[in-house]
Amino acid sequence: MNQDTICAIATAQGGAIGCIRVSGPEAIDITSRIFTPAAAGKKLEDCKPYTLTFGRIYEDAEVVDEVLVSLFRAPHSYTGENSTEITCHGSNYILQKVLQLLIKNGCRMAKPGEYTQRSFLNGKMDLSQAEAVADLIASSSAATHRLAMNQMRGGFSKELAALRDQLLHFTSLIELELDFSDHEELEFADRSELCQLAGSIEKVISRLVHSFSVGNAIKSGVPVAIIGETNAGKSTLLNVLLNEEKAIVSDIHGTTRDVIEDTANIGGITFRFIDTAGIRETSDAIENLGIERTFQKLDQAEIVLWMIDATDASAQISQLSEQILPHCEGKQLILVLNKADLVEKSSNTISINLPENIKSIRISAKEKMNIDGLQQMLITAANLPIVTQNDIIVTNIRHYEALSHALEAIHRVQQGLANNLSGDFVSQDIRECIFHLNDIAGEVTNDMVLQNIFGHFCIGK
């Protein structure tokens, strides 16, 4: 149990109402030193938990603000400690003044993520649930919200706990045999049943590992590279998709020399758009560096928007197809014929030959023509599943790495059983698998890992 009492502002600046959280063994006592209930003779320490008390915050004899104080008693609070939440007016002056009074009376400022860290250390949640709190705060779409909510409610933890229980039962039977190694005829663990159990566990872990590609796309955004020759309209399209002037637009060739990235939510899906330097022959060393980065980002993308000036489509396709197409294998490639409004105004027609698996669309980024059609093509190309709060999809790289190690261990278990290895070798691999699953829940996590995880939280949470 932590011995010091912490405080922090838990709400964003600029609102009409602000909230300050206080947690620790002296939370109620310290709050009562600066807070006086409006009802005569009433004391905060005598109030029942889960109640609101109206009153005033005083500095000496001067009223700072009229507030509401919520009271929680250990262990029935978010942190598992005595806690109060002071709801006051959202003035930055008032919030800072209340903080100063709390610190003057024995509190210290909370570190980033310290409330959730205390909740974890006090057994209110496991580490995967604690990490989901940060994901919930950062959720920017319905899908990321549902995944974070499921994890925070313990859906992922329950799945891991079920696996660990099966593995522990599994290894206990094998180790019981080892205790009676002098009696070779004794076999507590039926090998055929163990093979079936290992197979079922391998399927679950494998499913979780493979779900990370979808989970990462949902959480971080589906990476979309916008590529093409200079002056094809890539930066203009980026600005339209983001609905802001993110990239400089100019008639001068080679304006974009570095990668520009930003995200946008389209149809409930987060896309991470990457505007790249135009591909062309140039002697400019800086521009060539930008073109090199273009191909690096192209390799990382899942969807590629190949922007082409529709007034010169055939020439651009023939010039760049040998450079671009090899990098697009296994990706969703959409040919975007920009400036189509100029073609429609003239007698020219667009004549191109493309493989059947490459889709194309005519737009005008400048005139915002057919942008909704392009957005629909992006949604289709992303091909993300509809996520519910019951779905268990891995979105955290730390969890993915631990599950990958667990999968390797269970594969060794299967191989050991198939090759009739000694029970002590099989048992060791089972325990290694359990170790990596426990790592996700935080049962074997060291202080350095905890500092890294909670250091990325916002203050007040």
Sequence ranges of the binding site for (6S)-5-formyl-5,6,7,8-tetrahydrofolate? 21, 85, 124, 461
DSSP one-letter string for 131-166: HHHHHHHH--SHHHHHHHHHHHTTHHHHHHHHHHHH
Mark the binding-site residues for K(+), compressed into ranges. 231, 250, 252, 255
Please enumerate in sequence order all residues whose Cβ is within 8 A of that of 431, keeping only pairs 6 or more positions apart, or say none.
171
Please enumerate in sequence order all residues whose Cβ is within 8 A of that of 158, keeping only pairs 6 or more positions apart, or say none.
none
Please identify which residue in the block is written with the tokens 């079936």: 196
Question: With b meaning 16 or more CB within 10 Å and e meaning fewer, what string describes 60-78?
Answer: eeeebbebebbbbebeebb
Please identify which residue in the block is written with the tokens 């505007």: 275
Q: Is the peptide bond before 75 cis (omega within 30 degrees of 0)?
A: yes
- Opening angle at CA 200, ends 179 and 185, nearest 5: 25
CA 365 to chain centre: 31
Mark the binding-site residues for GTP, compressed into ranges. 231-236, 250-256, 275-278, 338-341
Q: Are 21 and 99 in contact (CB under 8 A)?
A: no
Structural tokens at position 355: 């493989």
Mark the binding-site residues for Mg(2+), compressed into ranges. 235, 256
CA distances (Å), origin 277, targets 2, 165, 247, 368:
53, 53, 11, 22
DSSP secondary structure letter of residue 391: -
Alpha carbons 403 and 400: distance in angstroms, whole number: 5
Mark the binding-site residues, compressed into ranges. 21, 85, 124, 231-236, 250-256, 275-278, 338-341, 461
Please identify which residue in the block is written with the tokens 């007016």: 89
